[in-house]
Amino acid sequence: MKQILLFLTALCLALSVSAQEIKVTGSRKAVRTSGDIGAVLLPVAGLTAILVQKDWQGLKQGVFAGITTLGVTYALKYAVKKERPDRSDNHSFPSMHTSVSFTAASFIQRRYGWKWGVPAYVVSTYVGWSRVYGKKHDWWDVAAGAAIGIGSSYIFTRPFAKKHELTLSPVAGDGHCGIYASMKF
């Protein structure tokens, strides 16, 4: 009987320890923080380029790409409910930091060329790596975030939108709302 109680106590202790958030300190925390800065820096850089060049068409394209990225990423986070490597919550998949930074990087590249796109992709890659190194995501989360971000920008940022005559319109009525999308192939 004592052995069973000892086994159950050890099992409960092991489960409670594994359910706790893993604390990240030192260099991992510094890398995580620098990745957070990079994830904010890239959209700010894209917006700055838009404002400096008075590129209002680019602003519209960037907004559509950003809204799509946020919507898809949030929907997947709440549908998949994958636990983070640090066990802090169940919103690991996909990486929001990575999807936002890759949206901005691919927007910058598509709109303003590879001269500005290459450094933006380098920063985005660092953001993704920082999320894995900082124990917030695994590489699947980061890869999915990058794909969502790049895909959103490629859909809405010229030349794709112009080539395929992409049209978006808000729709509302009878207790529902949404967006109508039309595209030629």
Cα–Cα nearest to 80, from 94, 69, 67, 70:
94
- Asked whether 141 and 92 are in contact (CB, 8 A), the reply is yes
pLDDT of residue 161: 54
Residue spans per domain, the chain: 25-158
Element (H, E) at 75: helix 56-80
Distance, CA of 124 to CA of 76 (rounded, Å)? 20
Single pTM value for the model: 0.75
DSSP 3-state percent helix, strand, coil across the chain (nearest 5) = 70, 10, 25
Q: How many CA atoms lie within 13 A of 78 on its CB side?
A: 5
Here the tokens at position 22 are 């893993």
Give the pLDDT confidence score for residue 19 in this predicted structure.
Answer: 42
- How far is residue 171's CA from residue 179's CA, in Å, rounded to a whole number? 5
Please tell me the distance from the alpha carbon of residue 108 to that of residue 62, in angstroms, as a whole number: 9
Instruction: Give me the pLDDT at residue 24, please.
Output: 63
Architecture, CATH, for domain 25-158: Up-down Bundle (1.20)
In sequence order, what are the beta bridge partners of 169? 180
- Position 7 scores a pLDDT of 43
Q: Give the Cα separation of 95 and 99 in Å (integer).
A: 6
DSSP character at residue 138: -
Per-residue pLDDT tens, the chain, 185 aa: give them.
554 444 444 434 443 334 445 566 688 889 989 999 999 999 999 999 899 989 899 999 999 999 999 999 999 999 999 999 989 999 999 999 999 999 999 999 999 889 999 999 999 999 999 999 999 999 999 999 999 999 999 999 976 456 556 666 677 777 777 767 776 76
Residue with tokens 């086994």: 7
- Listed residue (128, 133, 173) closest to 147, CA to CA: 128
User: For the chain, how many residues are written?
Assistant: 185
> To 10 degrees, what angle do helices 114-133 and 27-53 make?
150
Whole-number Å distance between alpha carbons of 99 and 113:
20
